[in-house]
Chain A
Amino acid sequence: DSGVTQTPKHLITATGQRVTLRCSPRSGDLSVYWYQQSLDQGLQFLIQYYNGEERAKGNILERFSAQQFPDLHSELNLSSLELGDSALYFCASSPGTSYEQYFGPGTRLTVT
Chain B
Amino acid sequence: GIQVEQSPPDLILQEGANSTLRCNFSDSVNNLQWFHQNPWGQLINLFYIPSGTKQNGRLSATTVATERYSLLYISSSQTTDSGVYFCAVVMKTSYDKVIFGPGTSLSVIP
Contact = CB atoms under 8 A, between A and B. Distances in A.
Nearest to A104: B43
Interface secondary structure of B, over-half rule:
strand
B59 to A, nearest CB: 15
Interface residues of B, number: 21
Interface residue range, chain A: 20 to 34
A100 B98 contact: no
Nearest to A59: B97
Contact of B95 (A42, A56, A100, A105): A56
B29 to A, nearest CB: 10
B30 interface: yes
A106 B86 CA distance: 16
A48 B95 CA distance: 11
Interface of B: 30-31, 33, 35, 41-45, 48, 86, 88, 90, 95-100, 102-103
